[in-house]
Amino acid sequence: MQATHFSDTELAVLRAHGIVLFAGRVIFDAQPAMAADQIAAVQACCHGDIPLPLLELWRVTAGGSLDYDLT
């Protein structure tokens, strides 16, 4: 994924408060990650592969409010 200056413990604390860092962005009100079976169900409805960045996002959070650019 991405390099951050946060420890795993700090990232877990942010997550507990509904904040996730992804692709250099902050996601507030982050929803739980999608389960593998949910992703598989979506993939089964698609005519092609789900793009890898979207899969990576869904494995972190299934939604929220995209906000600040960390750079």
Q: Which of 65, 62, 59, 67 is nearest to 1 (CA)?
A: 59
The pTM score is 0.77
Distance CA 69, CA 48 (A): 30
Q: pLDDT value at position 4?
A: 62
Query: 24-57: per-residue pLDDT in tens?
Result: 889 999 999 999 999 999 999 999 999 999 999 9
Q: Which of 37, 20, 33 is nearest to 62 (CA)?
A: 33
Distance CA 67, CA 30 (A): 11
